[in-house]
Structure 1
Amino acid sequence: MAIKTTRAVGVDIGGTGIKGAIVDLAAGTLLTDRIKVATPAGAEPDDVLDAVRVVLDRLEVREENIPLGVAFPAIVKRGRTLSAANVSDAWIGFEAEHFFEDGLGREIHFANDADVAGVAELRYGAAREQAGLSILTTLGTGIGTAMIHDGVLIPNSELGHLQRAGHKKDAEAWAAYSAMERDELSWEKWAERLQWYYRHLEFLLSPDLFIVGGGVSKHADQFLPLLDLSTPIVPAVHRNNAGIIGAAALAVA
């Protein structure tokens, strides 16, 4: 049964940072300042748990009656993490939801980070009432993806790990925002890599809408106009807060 409440806590664990806030569930907006701490080097489970505790302490969240949702950069099935993108390999095959519940002393809802960003855009943003197939991509340390078809999330799509023909590294190693920073690319040069990526998604899936999230989406005017696609492409309404908002929304689902 869904919990009747007007607010929930969302925590978004990423490869470089862990963010959290209290969310207004009716409006899909933050009720508090966003708290952010660095993801611990190596991102081992115990260290990540300690960092989440710091976020919750700084939010002064102590009441167990405030639902808590946690987003994580991995394939998540029934609370278990089956992959480890930009975090320790210790998370592979790990009972992550139980681990966080035991460590925090409370129930949580645990899900893939890109999927919860997709939920935020589905309920409160660019994918709301959108027909057909919408694909949200989060451009950051890696490339997370969420597929939404006629208002229904298709979880754990992991389209950031598509392989490039003739190359050993996958799409996110070539086209994520971290690749732009690593290779010191201009917006124009980075857009050439994004052009390949989104064209490949068009060829494979024939989507009706692309939504671009992640921290770099606040600079969408610098690179989205450089892309030549058949599919409309727009920035995420909730930008880099989408993971927090979606995690909070799923906490009461």
Structure 2
Amino acid sequence: MRSRSASEEQSMVVTGGPDGQAFGVDIGGTGMKGAVVDTGTGQLVTERKRILTPHPATPEAVAGVVAQLVSDAGWQGPIGATFPAVIKHGVAQSAANVDPSWVGTDADKTFTQAVGDNSEVLVLNDADAAGIAEARYGAAKGVAGVVILLTFGTGIGSALLIDGVLVPNTELGHLELDGHDAESRAAASVRDEHGMSYKKWSKRVDAYMQHVERLFTPDLFVVGGGVSKNAEKWVPLLELKTPVKPAQLLNDAGIVGAAIAAIEHLGE
């Protein structure tokens, strides 16, 4: 299996790139989804299939589901997979919302061995994959300068792009907010858990995003996650200097971004 160079790790270029197809897998806490993607258009060319995430979500169990998704699609070729952790040179470095056995696991190798059939798997952070997809085909398409995508779900994921180039593993959801880990205060799961109105929850999101804004002075925020479907209920309540757009690819973003990363780095 070809290892990733440091330069590849630090800059996944999302403007331009070869046409072609790749298989994308989006691994979440409750479900794992996969489909073949035409990376030249950002469209899924097979029906998206979803399988429940195994519990406990150990490397072996998750790899088995990845292999099943790929096998069910009859796919052989480059495969990209998202994962909710810091991924450095294919190795999981954190486990904030996943099974702790992932820390130190070579996810690239684990998934590639499980899939077999001469296919190779590239793993990247889930928010980073969404950022790649939104920069190529979504809300951040054609936007120059600094773009920050924030996904609000169980936690808060982030992707930082500079002129369309991804700076991986920013993990801005773990910035301190009011003496707490930011995602413990402003994630969408917190709103659900406490039955908060969008108006009340948006105040926390606004405080968090203002903090990010002061640190990075972005040209655009893109907000994703399930709550982006109801963006009209909370985005207008944010008091930011930076424009905010809801993500456009929604449930397909991780799959599309993973496929793009795979074909651009495994297809070389």
TM-score over 0.5 (shorter chain): yes
Structure 1's unaligned 5+ residue stretches are none
Alpha carbons of structure 1 residues 35 and 63: separation in structure 2 relative to 1, 3 Å: closer
> What secondary structure sits across from 1:86 in the alignment?
coil
In the alignment, does 2:144 pair up with 1:151? no
Equivalence for 1:62: 74
Q: Is the 8 A contact 1:134 1:208 kept in 2?
A: yes
Alpha carbons of structure 1 residues 23 and 92: separation in structure 2 relative to 1, 3 Å: same
| CA displacement, residues 210-236 of structure 1 (integer Å, 9 cap, x when unaligned) | 001122211111211121111000011
Q: Tell me the percent identity.
A: 49
CA–CA distance in structure 2, aligned partners of residues 173 and 35 of structure 1: 31
In the alignment, does 2:17 pair up with 1:6? no
> What secondary structure sits across from 1:252 in the alignment?
helix
> What secondary structure sits across from 2:169 in the alignment?
coil
In the alignment, does 2:216 pair up with 1:208? no
Q: Is the 8 A contact 2:160 2:168 kept in 1?
A: yes
Which letter does structure 1 place at the counterpart of 2:177? R
Equivalence for 2:152: 139
Structure 2's unaligned 5+ residue stretches are 1-16
Equivalence for 1:43: 57
Select 1:33's aligned residue among 47, 51, 56. 47
Equivalence for 1:80: 91
Select 1:114's aligned residue among 127, 147, 152. 127
Equivalence for 2:3: none
> What secondary structure sits across from 2:150 in the alignment?
strand
Equivalence for 1:241: 252
Which letter does structure 1 place at the counterpart of 2:156? I
What's the TM-score, normalizing by structure 1?
0.92
Which letter does structure 2 place at the counterpart of 1:177? A
Q: How does 1:93-112 map to 2 (within 5 A)?
A: 93-105=104-116, 106-112=119-125
| CA displacement, residues 13-68 of structure 1 (integer Å, 9 cap, x when unaligned) | 112221111212121122222222222223211121222233334xx323423x21
CA–CA distance in structure 2, aligned partners of residues 193 and 42 of structure 1: 31
> What secondary structure sits across from 1:249 in the alignment?
helix
Which letter does structure 2 place at the counterpart of 1:154? V
- Structure 1 residue ranges (4+ consecutive) displaced by more than 4 angstroms after TM superposition: none
CA–CA distance in structure 2, aligned partners of residues 229 and 42 of structure 1: 40
Please provide the CA RMSD for this pair: 1.6
Q: Is the 8 A contact 2:127 2:254 kept in 1?
A: yes
